[in-house]
Amino acid sequence: NESISYTVLVSHFNSPLITLEQGFVYFGRTYHQVYVNQNGHLTFEIPWGRYIPLKFPMNGPEDIIAPFWTDLDNRQKGRVTYIQHTSGSVLQQATTDINEYFPYFNPFVATWVFVATWDGVPYYPNKGDVCHILILTIQNRRSVFSSFFLVKYELIQICVVCYQAGFDTIKSTQYFSIPGSFSAYATGPNSSFCLGSNVNRKGRWAFRIDQEQSGGKNMWSESVIFFLKCK
C-alpha cells in the first residue's frame, strides 16, 4: 500500500528541479521545489554544485540545509536518490517517530514524506565509502505548518577535508553551524557531531526552521525531520 511519486538517481553535482507535493516552510518562506545536491546539502531556488563548503554564516543569496556539506563524488560509486511518499509504511514510521521524539505535538499524523539519500558516497577522489545520509522531510495537513530538522550522527569515517553541518538562510538572517564544523573533530571516533547534542541524546541535533527564530533544545518538529548516518 505504498504511494510513491518518484525516485531518481542524482547525477554528479545535483538533481533536476524537484516539485514538492506539499509546500515547505523555511524561515518564513514557502518553497514548492527543492534540489538535492551531491555534496551533502539541499537548496531551493537553484542547484548548487559547490564542493568546497563555506562557513556559516555565508551572508549569501540562498537558503541552504546542509546535514554534511563536504567534497563528495558519486561518479564511480555510491548513489544519491530522492523519493516522495504519500501513504504506506514510510508515513507510518514517520508518524511514530515524530510522536516519540516530539510528544507535545501528539497526535501527529504524517501525510507526506520526502526522502533524500546519499548511499555509500565517498570523499573525492573516491577514497572509500564515507557516509550513508538519509534525510526525511515529514509533513501533515494543517492550516499552519511548523518546520524543523533532526540530524542523527553515528560513526563518520575520518578524513582531513573540511565539513559544514547546519543551516543558513538568505543574507544569514538565521543560521546555525553544528559544533565541530571546520574542525579536526568533525570525523573519526571523537567526532563532536557524533558525541555532542543539543537535545541531550548523543549524536542528535534538532532545530526549528519554519519562522524567525533559531532552533535549540526546546525546538521540536511538526513537519520536517532529518536523519544523518555516516560510517
Closest CA to 40 of 8, 3, 73: 73
Query: At residue 12, does pLDDT exceed 90?
Result: no
pLDDT for the residue 225? 44
Q: Is the dihedral of CA 173, 229, 34, 183 positive or negative?
A: positive
Query: At residue 120, does pLDDT exceed 60?
Result: yes
Q: Report pLDDT digits (tens) over 123-144.
A: 777 666 566 566 666 766 654 5
Query: At residue 23, does pLDDT exceed 50?
Result: yes
pLDDT for the residue 116? 80
Distance CA 115, CA 150 (A): 13
Query: At residue 40, does pLDDT exceed 80?
Result: yes
pLDDT-derived band of residue 216, with 50, 70 and 90 as boundaries?
Answer: very low
Residue 103, preceding peptide bond in cis (omega within 30° of 0)? no
Query: At residue 184, does pLDDT exceed 80?
Result: yes
pLDDT for the residue 107? 77
Among the ranges given (45-49, 164-168, 202-206), the one the predictor scored with the smallest mean pLDDT? 202-206
pLDDT-derived band of residue 54, with 50, 70 and 90 as boundaries?
Answer: very high
Query: At residue 82, does pLDDT exceed 60?
Result: yes
The better pLDDT of the pair 3, 9 is held by 9
Cell of 110: 504524517
Calculate what percentage of the chain has a pLDDT beyond 70. Answer: 76
Q: What are phi and psi of 101, to 5 degrees?
A: -75, -35
